[in-house]
Amino acid sequence: MKKILLITVMSLGSLTAFAQETEAEINVDTEVAATAETQDDFSAIELSEVPAAITEALSRDYPDAEINNAFVNEEEQYKLEVTLEDGNTAELYADSEGNWLDM
């Protein structure tokens, strides 16, 4: 009888430990997703909405680059996803006056 009681207690203990571990993993995943949303506060815009100063700077400094997607944040900083001459993609950041930013 003692063996059955011991096995039951051990089984319940291991199930509880498994449930706590799974809950912790879910909390970590939720925190990572929330952090990703707050770090990237850029909103998608149409390519036609990119200021002329930025397109001029792009054609001057990266003559063979092509803009694939454009984004803007509240500070009027622009993020451009571009394809370069060699086929690689890159993200470039600029202010509304066409000055390149390090971000």
Q: What is the pLDDT of residue 40?
A: 74
Instruction: Sketch the domain layout of the chain as residue ranges.
Output: 1-39, 43-101
> What is the mean pLDDT of each successive set of 10 residues along the chain, which is 103 residues long?
59 58 53 44 96 97 96 96 94 97 92
Q: What are phi and psi of 95, to 5 degrees?
A: -90, 180
As beta bridge partners, residue 92 has 80
Helix (H) / strand (E) element for 86: namely none
Amino acid identity, position 73: N
